[in-house]
A and B are shown apart, each in its own frame.
Chain A
């Protein structure tokens, strides 16, 4: 990809993330993803978010997560736009693998929310595959309602918790 298109993408991603998820840069996000222990990545070593080859760039500049409506696993247009950029990055970095974490808000029973989180993670996986990312590089895991990102009990938090997060691993061999 030439330099111009990269810059355009970057600008678009920032605009998207600003309206999607203002808390995305907060410590809670990294903590929640790390607490699951699925990705095996640590807070360090993600690099500079200004470096397009860094995982920090993927997480913050592109945006590592998409959000869902209540009880839905259908991707929103905003979510599809984020995932399209995730796919571009993953296609440009073929040695990186990823685990997609699906989450639900607390308004649901535990078992159902596990299944719903699985649906969400797989909706993301399917989209990334449709954009050319090899299925062998992608795994999914559902946390149901076990790992909320925001802890209040109203829609302001619920909307952030209904999410699927693409956790990029360093190198191959997830």
Chain B
């Protein structure tokens, strides 16, 4: 009974993997929990080994025992398919090749664990080499002819000149200058402050403004009591709205309606526009750094950040200093991030 359940379970596992590999089951449907992936994978593989053992017992009970040779080959194929199709997000080929080799060695160790098993494993290979039966003879001839041809094709492909896009490494957030001059005024990055990040008394106040930003939950929605579109909105929230207006008249074309870098023109450009909702962009930077980047644009980048390729406008050509500060205020409000401080 137990073996029967094991056998059915084994069939189910193989079926799921088959569905995954032909794409009927989307790769994302059976999610591995982030952070526990290796443990889950080992667990799943362990269960599979157990179940396959039961399955093979079931088969031999039914009188159809699978030769040791094919057991090894099939198990190895299972591991390869599992790595390619089960694991999502996909792992790169080089890593898969490494795991595949380890699995192959493991299969060999299993096959050669005792003399009898090793013999059983070798037997089909020797049969083909000896060509004792007409079938084996045909098989041997096929192998002898096909092997050199396949290897020729494979090496021909690898000798063809490679015309892929050259890889160039770009620094996304280069080191900022000590100060920047915008519209005739010099801003020292260490000491400058956003003049619109203020509390109701008109004082620079991070704590107050940070309490008004959108909620850092799914959807990043505004706090009901802090709606910039409220007619009575004053001070900080009013500036956020004004910044949003400027953003949606100028910036959303690339940085997107949700500030995620997926705007109307974004698809055409390389490097792609920054995604402000990503914790690796504005959340990691000081407000004055953003001010420098916005004012000077792509053309103002140092060489390691590829100024020649960036289509980011030098916004000092389009916006006033005040407008730039308001846009920055809006970007932090809308993404729900705090600007990083110097201390």
Query: Does B bind A?
Result: no
Q: Which residues of B contact A (CB under 8 A)?
A: none
Q: Which residues of A contact B (CB under 8 A)?
A: none
